[in-house]
Amino acid sequence: MLESTMRRSSLCLLLIALLFTSGRAASAIEVKISAQALERTLRAQLFNGPDGRYYIRGDANSPCYVYADSPHVTFAQDRIVVHVHAKAKLGTAVRGACLGVTLATDADVSLIPDAEEESIGFRDARIERLSESKELNFLLVPFLSHKLPAQMKVNAALLMRQLLSRSTETTGYSLSLDSLKLHSLLVEGSSLVMDADANLKVD
């Protein structure tokens, strides 16, 4: 989850911290996060079931079901676009079979990144593409509008602390993050740019 980006960010934090001899530092930082990093986070936090699927209704053993898979994240202007593939068997389960229709579709939702204290959040979910089935859309809309953005949320401070926990063995310095305050998150070209203040301690 954002591992390569956060590793680079932890190195930046280390360089900033070493500029101070008082043992404590509060400084502004900028971290650039790729669409691929957000996609890995989404796969790890939501699409972590069998075959990378998230079941909106039923499960892998259900005759009738609805699931989404194959998430793909891109940036478009100031928004983050998440594309998913969805497949459904809608109907009535009878003797282990689903009597009804089988549907497959692609769906897109776009989101605005939102700084939430020490977390990367998302708001203003806007459905960009849906299926032609009203019954399937009835299930897809709440998933795309609420469940998906909620599961994309990332606690950036927690990730940084996990990376910095090994700073002693990798650098010889014990570096810890006391606090992180995100001020803004903006899509700029091929990156999500995070501006924040970090309070660091070096021993």
51-67 pLDDT tens trace: 999 999 999 999 999 99
Percent of the chain with pLDDT strictly greater than 70: 87
> Which tokens in the block code for residue 203?
């021993």
pLDDT tens sequence across 5-21: 444 444 444 444 444 43
Does this model's pTM top 0.85? My answer is: no
State the DSSP code for 198: E
CA distance linking residue 47 with residue 95, whole number of Å: 29
59 CB-contact burial (10 Å; exposed 0-12 / middle 13-18 / buried 19+): exposed
Q: Which amino acid is at 47?
A: F
- Please say whether the beta carbons of 180 and 192 come within 8 A: no
List the single range of 26-30, 37-41, 100-104, 150-154 with lowest mean pLDDT.
26-30
> Which tokens in the block code for residue 19?
């500029």
Name which residue leads in pLDDT, 124 or 177: 124
